[in-house]
Chains A and B, each alone.
Chain A
Amino acid sequence: MEAIGVLMAGPMSPYLEKELDKRFKLFRFWNFPQKTEFLKENSNSIRAVVGYTTAGADAQLIDSLPGLEIVASYSVGLDKIDLEKCKEKGIRVTNTPDVLTEDVADLAIGLILATLRKMCECDRYVRSGLWKKGDFRLTTKFSGKSVGIIGLGRIGSAIAKRAEAFGCPISYFTRSEKPDSEYKYYPNVIDLASNCQILIVACPLTSETCHIINREVINALGPKGILINIGRGPHVDEPELVSALVEGRLGGAGLDVFEHEPEVPEQLFGLDNVVLLPHVGSATVETRNAMADLVIGNLEAHFLKKPLLTPVV
C-alpha cells in the first residue's frame, strides 16, 4: 500500500506518523508552508486525509483533493470535517469513539475536583513556601453536589457513572429525552443550569450547539456554580465566560478547551477559581496509541476493501 498517498493534517502523534509512514506515502501537511502549491503538485496521489481536533477536512481541502476516498479522524469529534460534502462525494469518514471515553470522563472529574478543591492553587501554595505561614483557605465539597450534563452520549454517560459514585444527583439536557435513562431530564440548558451546581459540557460541536453556553446559561448557573468544558471551545461564549468569572457572576470553571486554541484569555490567569488545561482530554499514552491504531485499522480496512471499523459516513 506504499503508493497510496495519505495527507496528515497536523503533527498530532509521532507514533501515528511512524505507522502511517510504514504503510503509505505520507504527506505531512504542516511541513509545507505553501499549501496551494503543495496541493497542485500532489493532490492526485492523495486518497486519504488523517484529521484531528485542530484541523480535519473542510470543504476547501476536500474540493482540492479529487482522489480523496476517506477521511480518518484521530478524534471522536467531527466538527473539523465537512460531513455534508463527504456524503455528497461518497467520501468515507471514520473517527475514534469508545477508546477515549474513559480518559475524557476521568479528566472531567479531575477538573471538578481540581476546581472545587483548588488543588493546583494548593500545590502552588506548598511549593512557594506559604504553608509555613498558615493554612490554605477553606474550599468547597464535591460529594453530593448536583451535576448537570449537556449531552448524554458515551462521554456524558461515563461522566455520570463516575459522579454517581460521589453521591451526586445527576440531571441532563440532550436534543431528546432518553427514555431508559435513570437521570433527570431538562428540556433546555437554562433549566438544567438553574438546577445544578456543576454544569458539564459533553456534547458534539455543531451549528446548533455553538455557544450553547451563553450569558443566560452562565447567569442561571450563578456565583456558586461551576462550569466544566471537556467538549469544544466554541461550545462556550468565551468572552461572556471570562467576564462572568472576573466579575464573580460565575463561581468557577474547569476548562480543557478554548475557542482559539492554543490562545487562552489572559484575564483567566489571575483567577484562583479556574483550572486551565491544554486540551489533554485524551492525552495519555494508552489512549493515544489506541486512537492511532484505530485510525490505521480504518485506513487498512478501507484500502483492503474490508468493512470500516468505526465509520461515521
Chain B
Amino acid sequence: MEAIGVLMTFPISTYLEQELDKRFKLFRYWKFPLKIEFLRENSSSIRAIVGTGRVGGGADTELINSLPRLEIVASHSVGLDKIDLVKCKEKGIRVTYTPDVLTEEVADLAIGLILSTLRRICECDRYLRSGLWKKGAFKLTTKFSGKSVGIVGLGRIGSAIAKRAEAFGCPISYYSRSEKSDSKYKYYPNVIDLASNSQILIVACPLNDETHHIINREVISALGPKGVLINIGRGPLVDEPELVSALVEGRLGGAGLDVFEHEPRVPGQLFGLDNVVLLPHVGTATMETRKAMADLVIGNLEAHFLNRPLLTPVV
C-alpha cells in the first residue's frame, strides 16, 4: 500500500506518523507553508486524510474539494466537528473516528478538573513550591463530594463522567437533545434549567451548529457565583469572552477548561485567576489512549484499502 497517498493534517502523534509512514506515502500537511502549491502538486495522489479534533486539523469543505481522489477521512478523535460530513456523504467519501478507546481518559480528566478546580490543587502545589506554607496555611476551599452535577450531553463520555461522579455521592442531572428513557438521572429539557439546578456543570456534547455557544451568558448567570463550569468538549461550545468576563467579575465561581475557542491561544485574563484550571487539550493525551486511537485510525485505513468493513465508520 506504499503508493497510496495519505495526508496527515496535524502533528498529533509521532507513533501514528511512524505507523502511517510504514504503510503509505505520508504527506505531513503542517510542514508545507504554501498549502495551495502543495495541493496542486500532490492532490492527485492523496486518497486519504488523517484528521484530528484540533483547530486546523480537520477536513473542511475547501480541503475536500481540492482532493479529487479522496476516498476516506479517518479522524484521530471522536469529535467530528472539524469534518464536513455533508460534503463527504455527498461525494461518497467514507469517514471513521475513534469512539470508545478514549472515553475513560476524557471522563477521568473531567473528574480531575473538578477536583483541581474546587480543591485548588494546582494553586496549593504552587503555594507550597514557592515557600508560602512556612508563612501560613493555604485558604479553605470547597468540597466536591455531594455537590450536584449537571452534564450537557449524556453520550459515551457524559455517561462515564456520571458513573464516576456518582461514586462521590453527587446527584446527577443532564440535558440532551431528547430525554433518555432508560436513564436513572434527572432530565432537564434545556441547559438553563440544568445550570440553575447544578453546582458543577460539565460540557460533554458534540460540537455542531445547534450546540455552538450552548454555554452563553444566560447559562453562565444561571450557574452563578458559586457554580463551576467544566469543559472537556470543544472550545466553541462556550462563549469564551462571556466566560472570561463572568470569571473576572465573580459572576461565575470557577472553571476547569481543557479546550478553548482559538487553541492554542488562551485568554490572558484567565492567567491571574486562582479559581480556574487551564489545560492544553490533553483529554486523550496519554500513551495508552493515543496508541489505541492511532491503531484504530490505521485499522480503519487498512480495512478501507483492503476492501474490508470499516472498524468504526461514521459515514
Contacts and interface: CB of A to CB of B under 8 A. Distances in A.
Interface of A: 102-103, 105-107, 109-111, 113-114, 117, 119-120, 122-127, 131-132, 135-136, 138-144, 161-162, 164-167, 261-264, 269, 275-280, 283-288
B4 interface: no
Contacts of A107: 115, 119
12 contacts: A114-B122, A120-B116, A136-B285, A142-B108, A143-B107, A164-B167, A165-B163, A277-B125, A278-B128, A278-B138, A283-B137, A285-B143
B286 A288 contact: no
Contacts of B168: 102, 106, 162
A285 B140 contact: yes
A287 B104 CA distance: 30
Contacts of A261: 133
Contacts of B189: none
A126 B121 contact: no
Contacts of B25: none
Task: Name the interface size band of chain B.
Answer: 35 or more
Contact of B264 (A110, A131, A284): A131
Interface stretch (B206-214, B237-245, B274-282): B274-282
Contacts of B280: 122, 125-126, 131, 135-136
B305 interface: no
Nearest to A140: B286
B38 interface: no
A283 B278 contact: no
A103 B169 CA distance: 12
Contact of A119 (B121, B138, B143, B266): B121
B308 interface: no
Interface in B73-132: 104-105, 107-109, 111-113, 115-116, 119, 121-122, 124-129
B66 interface: no
A136 B104 CA distance: 20
Contact of B124 (A125, A161, A277): A277
Contacts of A165: 163-164, 166-167
> Which 6 A-B residue pairings sit nearest by Cβ, starting from the closest?
A165-B167, A113-B112, A110-B115, A102-B145, A143-B104, A262-B133
B253 to A, nearest CB: 13
Nearest to A281: B119
A113 B115 contact: yes
Given A123-B277, A275-B121, A287-B143, 11 more contacts: A110-B116, A113-B115, A117-B108, A124-B126, A127-B271, A135-B281, A141-B108, A164-B167, A166-B104, A166-B108, A283-B137
Contacts of B116: 110, 113-114, 119-120, 123
Contact of B167 (A162, A264, A278, A286): A162
A165 B149 CA distance: 16
A264 B131 CA distance: 9
A163 B112 CA distance: 13
Interface stretch (B150-158, B174-182, B287-295, B296-304): B287-295
A104 B171 CA distance: 20
B42 interface: no
B128 A286 contact: no
Contacts, number: 165
Contact of A280 (B11, B112, B138): B138
A5 B116 CA distance: 41
Contacts of B288: 140-141
A117 B143 contact: no
A261 B128 CA distance: 11
Given A119-B277, A120-B122, A278-B124, A135 B285 contact: yes
Nearest to A13: B140
A164 B167 CA distance: 8
A304 to B, nearest CB: 30
Contacts of A166: 104, 108, 164
Contacts of A122: 279-280, 282
B184 interface: no
A166 B128 CA distance: 29
B133 A264 contact: yes
A159 B169 CA distance: 12
A120 B279 CA distance: 9
A284 B140 contact: yes
Given A102-B146, A280-B119, A123 B279 contact: yes
Nearest to B12: A135
A113 B111 contact: yes
B290 A138 contact: yes
Contact of B145 (A103, A135, A263): A103
A131 B266 contact: yes
A78 to B, nearest CB: 21
A244 to B, nearest CB: 20
B127 A144 contact: no
Nearest to B127: A278
Contacts of B266: 126, 131
B111 A126 contact: no
Contacts of B122: 114, 119-120, 123-124
B134 interface: yes
B141 interface: yes
Nearest to A256: B124
B82 to A, nearest CB: 16
A276 B145 contact: no
A109 B164 CA distance: 11
B112 A114 contact: yes
B268 to A, nearest CB: 9
